[in-house]
Amino acid sequence: MERSNQSFSKRNYSSQPKANYPDYRSTILRHQEHKLVALPQTLADTRGPAFGHMALGDSDHDLIINYASTGLGAIGERIVVAGKVLDESGKPVPNALIEVWQANAGGRYRHKNDTYLAPLDPNFGGCGRCLTDQEGNYVFRTIKPGAYPWPNGGNDWRPAHIHFSIFGQAFAQRLMTQMYFEGDPHIQICPILQSIGDTRAVNQLVARLDMAHSVPMDLIAYRFDLILRGPNATMFENNLEGI
């Protein structure tokens, strides 16, 4: 996602989350105590294979039907999520592989370790992928995920969210983040989000309602743009200060 002969603006490190944030209990035991070390990329890192770019199926971008039995679809509020992937100068990033995964409408993941009592949807797998076009645009259909409880402070609930993974031109070039939904009251009280400590950075993780592109009697649209780096970069959880 970067070219070695290109100069970049400095990132705004004040938006980075606190490594040790007691309200987010896992950080107490897991936070690093030393400054992170940046390792320079080697030729193998920047010239390796690009995973999955040429193997997308016709319905990979459609989570409503890509796991469903023929003629059926996932249960829940039907939505479409669209946006652009941009560099720090606002230029589109074409041919970027985006993978998404999420809980179902009841707040449960299709994963053996998820034991939340909400039922699984037999027609919802919870994952999909798509490529950006030449203008950096992407789009996928899904259902709005539900909130779910997590064992942090006794009564903490994760806001509804969708995980994003963005691949560049090599397997090692991968960024991950989470997208939240405008108007969700859990955003203001989620210890994970509040550990960021920068309202602007949090707001960049929130998808905006986009009624102009909603499909009447079918789908509600949300807009979510991703900026790869620079002072206005989206907060990526695997690309914090020093990484």
In degrees, to the nearest 5, what angle opens at C-alpha 177 toward C-alphas 50 and 91?
A: 65
Rounded to an integer, the average pLDDT of 96-108 is 97
The question of whether 222 is a catalytic residue gets the answer no
- Assess whether 186 carries a catalytic annotation: no
CB atoms within 10 A of CB 36: 11
Q: How far apart are CA 38 and CA 13, in angstroms?
A: 15
Is the distance from CB of 201 to CB of 236 less than 8 angstroms?
Answer: no
Q: Is 13 a catalytic residue?
A: no
Block residue for tokens 């040429």: 54
The pTM score is: 0.86
67 is a catalytic site residue: no
User: For 235, what's the count of Cα atoms within 13 Å in the CB-facing half-sphere?
Assistant: 26
Catalytic residue, from 21, 67, 138, 148: name it.
148
Residue 76 has pLDDT above 50, yes or no: yes
pLDDT bin (cut points 50, 70, 90) of residue 241 is: very low
- pLDDT reported for residue 2: 47
Q: Please, are residues 162 and 179 in contact by the beta-carbon 8 Å criterion?
A: yes
How many Å from the N-terminal Cα to the C-terminal Cα in the chain?
A: 14
Q: Which among 163, 180, 222, 229 is annotated as catalytic?
A: 163
Task: For residues 51 and 66, give the distance between their C-alpha atoms in angstroms, rounded to a whole number.
Answer: 20
From the candidates 138, 158, 222, 229, which is the catalytic residue? Answer: 158
Reported confidence tier of residue 168, pLDDT bands at 50, 70, 90: confident
Q: Which of 212, 55, 27, 179 is nearest to 129 (CA)?
A: 55
Pairing of strands 174-181, 206-209: parallel
The string of pLDDT tens digits covering residues 23-43 is: 777 777 777 777 767 777 776
pLDDT, tens only, 176-229: 999 999 999 999 999 999 999 899 999 999 999 999 999 999 999 999 999 998
Quick one: pLDDT at residue 37? 73
Given the residues 129, 161, 180, 229, the one annotated as active site: 161
Contact between residue 98 and residue 234 where contact means Cβ atoms under 8 Å apart: no
Give buried/exposed letters for 41-77 (b at 16+ CB in 10 A, else e): eeeeebeeeeeeeeeeeeebbbbbbbbbeeeebbbbe
Q: What does the domain layout of the chain look like in residue ranges?
A: 13-51+58-227
So what's the pLDDT on residue 14?
Answer: 64
Which is nearest to 15 in space by CA: 171, 190, 241, 188? 241
Establish whether 34 is a catalytic residue. Answer: no
How many Cβ atoms are within 10 Å of 128's Cβ, its own excluded?
24
User: So what CATH class is 13-51+58-227?
Assistant: mainly beta
Q: Rounded to an integer, what distance in angstroms lies between the CA atom of residue 189 and that of residue 162? A: 18
Which listed residue (21, 24, 67, 109) is catalytic? 109
